[in-house]
Amino acid sequence: MVYLAAAAAQFGRDMEFGLQRVESIVAAARRAGAGLLVLPDGTLGGYLTDLREPVDPGHELSPTEPEDPTPPAPDAPSAEHEAPVPPPMSVSADLPPALEPDDPVFDRLTAMAGDLVLCLGYRERAGALTYNSAVCLSGAGVHGRHRKVHLAPGERVSYASGDRFAAFDTPVGRLGMMIDYDKTFPEGARTLAEDGAIVLACLSAWPASLTDPARRVVKDRQARLFDLYDCARAAENQVVVVSANQTGRSGVLTFLGNAKVVGPGGDIRARTWAKAGLAVAELDPAAEVSRARRVLHHLVERRPEAYRAEPAGESVAVDR
């Protein structure tokens, strides 16, 4: 048995403050006996401030273009969507710091994690490109990394797309990672499950709707979808999902929280709702996944040959 923990927390541009918050959450998870802690997307340096197309959609941010040095405003508490949404921001809006994979901050994090497996999100620089990325590490070093594959429209001027989903071994079992919009697409989670992952770490900076906001965040349609995708990806692949999310605000975005641990039947074992906190559940991922697949084994019972759509205008001959 192992305790799995998912955090709902706010992280902004202040890296040192964010690392102190990570240290505090790691300490809380350790007190709870957690073997795995999943933190949100943008843990190191925060997330974007807008997800709509920029006011100058023809301009793409050059990999060498300097980032806005203006310091961000202090983190603000979560709020309800009652004010009008301002117009889209310029692509020159401030971006999270871009970190090389060998940045010293990761050595600091491995020392902080110790025997705890820790997943967290950041903006990665790789040569001329930057990615929305996640890393999984412990005191033993880095276990795996993931670059977000599915980018929302407002992210495409700031990030390049990753090109693969791959699972890797950790002390808590074989694990795969997804970031934000990745979990909207069933193929990513299915690929990780087929690669042997029994735990999916979902790292998000998932905001409330900008186009149709609810008066209360808890009633927002994006809150419903966030929960739906967590439970569906767990149930359809018969795996454990550990889902973290940001809280509070960043620019025009209000993040939903709702961190949770979901069992392989799609049942929520622990959650935080909209406020900051830690969702912790005790389970044996390997045993639970094995039990879930004992009679109905979704991966084995797939029929890929039946999933290909016929070309338009062609019919399928049937022998009678």
Domains, the chain: 2-306 (3.60.110.10)
- List of E strands, the chain: 2-9, 34-38, 98-99, 117-126, 129-138, 141-147, 168-170, 173-179, 199-204, 240-246, 249-250, 253-254, 260-262, 268-271, 277-283
**Cβ contact 256:18 at 8 Å:** no
Q: How far apart are CA 289 and CA 198, in angstroms?
A: 7
Q: Which residue has tokens 């340096």?
A: 45
Orientation of helix 221-237 relative to helix 186-194, angle to 10°: 30
What pLDDT shows up at residue 55?
Answer: 57
What pLDDT shows up at residue 312?
Answer: 67
What pLDDT shows up at residue 153?
Answer: 87
Q: What is the mean pLDDT of each run of 10 residues along the chain (320 residues)?
A: 98 98 98 98 97 59 39 37 46 82 97 98 97 98 98 93 98 98 98 98 97 88 97 98 98 96 98 96 98 98 91 55
Amino acid (1-letter code) at residue 162 = G
